[in-house]
Structures are given as structure tokens and as C-alpha cells.
Amino acid sequence: MMRILLGLFFISSVTAQAADTKPIRALLVCGGCCHDYENQKKIISEAITSRANVVFDIVHEGDKTRGHKISVYANPDFWKNYDVIVHNECFGEIDDVPFVESIANAHLKHGVPAVMLHCATHSYRAAKTDAWRETLGMSSFYHEKNRDLTIRTVAKEHPIMAGVPPTWLDPKDELYVPAQFWPSATPLAIAYGEDTKKDHPVIWLNNAGKSKVFATTLGHNNGTMQHAVYQEIVTRGLLWSVGKLGPDGNPVEGYGPVKK
């Protein structure tokens, strides 16, 4: 599991929801090769709903494959009932340009916010279009071998990173190497590549067309996703993307965890 070297932080706001406050509607898409999506869909959704006023629909398909086309994406209006799409899929072999552009257009053209987790940043890389890469704010085609990563916070003033240590250890994760980091993107944290001898963004924000996108390449293993710091950062990233994160790093009124 992730070990924090210089401290820990938590979203501490617990608020009763006003009668007219509607929860954030989120679609979580999981599936593909190389990861434990059966458990990750539970880890992600439960972590976020315990910290913020969010309800999830979950689509989980195509495990152990790289070329499966998620069925809901066949509908070009798949995004219409949602405030945010959380992408945790791993389909690097899909090269169908209209299919990939239709997914990306939910964000680029229709303005639906996105949360991109780990292999989502490597999905659809075989397609000869930059639509997905423009949505991500990064082009990447390979990662370094699984190893301990020292994460360095570079945007400590941003509310997503409020209270995050200057450096922290993420054991046994993968460092994705960008071929291009787009000028529309802003790094929040970086890690050093032992192969490339360079720093690379591992958490960032992107202004993608009409939408706001939070992205992280971290999260190959369940242990990373289960750690409180990772869960807080991802929850804050989701809240930021939909305009519900306060300047102190807590949810705005009505969007903290729901009292049971």
C-alpha cells in the first residue's frame, strides 16, 4: 500500500444535504486488460461516495481484453444523464477512429467533465486520431516497469492537493511516459523516470475543449487505489471537474458525504 512520508490529509466536511441538493450523477466505466476491475469498481465508487454526494452507475465489460468496445459507447448520447464520466478502462488496441472520437466528443464537444484513472490514459492509443489524447491532455504509448515511485507535489496551492506532502511514496506502480504533454494541461504532481532520467506528470488537470478533466496515471494496483490519500485526491479531482470543490479542498456545501 502507499506509504506517506510527510503526513496525511482527509476531506473532513460532513454535511446534511439540503432537500433540493441533487447528488452528482457519475458513470464509472471499467474493464480491459491487466487490472483487477472487479474489485477496483467497488474500491473507486465506495471511496468517492463515502466522501462526496455522488451516485454511480457502473459499466464493467471486456476484462482480459485490449480491443473490447464498451457497449454503452455505441450510443453517441451515452453521456446525457451524467454530470461526470469516470474512465477506468484499458483498451489500447481499439483503432476505430469514429468510435474513439464519439467517446472523446462527450467531453470535447459536449462539455461533460471527466476523471481519467491509470490505464484510461493508455486506452485508444492505437486509433489514428488525437481526440482521446486531446481529452487527456497527454499522449503516452508506454510505461516503465512496475517499481516504487516517489511522487512530488508541484501544485501545493491547488485545492485538490491541499495537505498533500511535498513528497510521498507509491509502492509498485507504473510510470507512464508521455510522448507529449499538452499545453492545455497543468501538472499537480510528478515522478522521476529511471529509464528516461526525466520527471513526468502523474497527476494533472486539463482544459479539454468544453470540459474539465482530472487525470492520474497512478493506480495500477489495488493497494494504491485503497489508500486514503489516493482516494482523497481522486474524490477532489471529481469534485473539481464538476465545480463542487471549495478553495480549502473540501466539498462545497451540500456535496460532502451524506449523513446516514
**What is the CATH number for 37?**
3.40.50.880
88: three-class secondary structure by DSSP: strand
The pLDDT of residue 258? 84
223: three-class secondary structure by DSSP: helix
For 166-209, how does the pLDDT look when each residue is reduced to its tens digit (9 = 90+)? 999 999 999 999 999 999 999 999 999 999 999 999 999 999 99
For 33-68, how does the pLDDT look when each residue is reduced to its tens digit (9 = 90+)? 999 999 999 999 999 999 999 999 999 999 999 999
Domain span at residue 230 reads 24-241
What distance in Å separates the CA atoms of residue 30 and residue 6, rounded to the nearest whole number? 32
Report the sign of the C-alpha dihedral through residues 116, 119, 120, 121, in that order.
positive
Strand-strand pairing, 114-117 and 211-216? parallel
For 122-131, how does the pLDDT look when each residue is reduced to its tens digit (9 = 90+)? 999 999 999 9
Q: Within a domain: residue 253?
A: no
* pTM check: above 0.85: yes
Sorted by sequence, the CB contacts under 8 Å of residue 35 that are 6+ apart come out as: 90, 118, 119, 220
Q: How many domains does the chain have?
A: 1
Q: Within a domain: residue 256?
A: no
235: three-class secondary structure by DSSP: helix
Q: Within a domain: residue 14?
A: no
- The answer to whether 227 touches 1, Cβ cutoff 8 Å, is yes
Residue 6: pLDDT over 50: no
Q: Within a domain: residue 178?
A: yes
Q: Within a domain: residue 16?
A: no
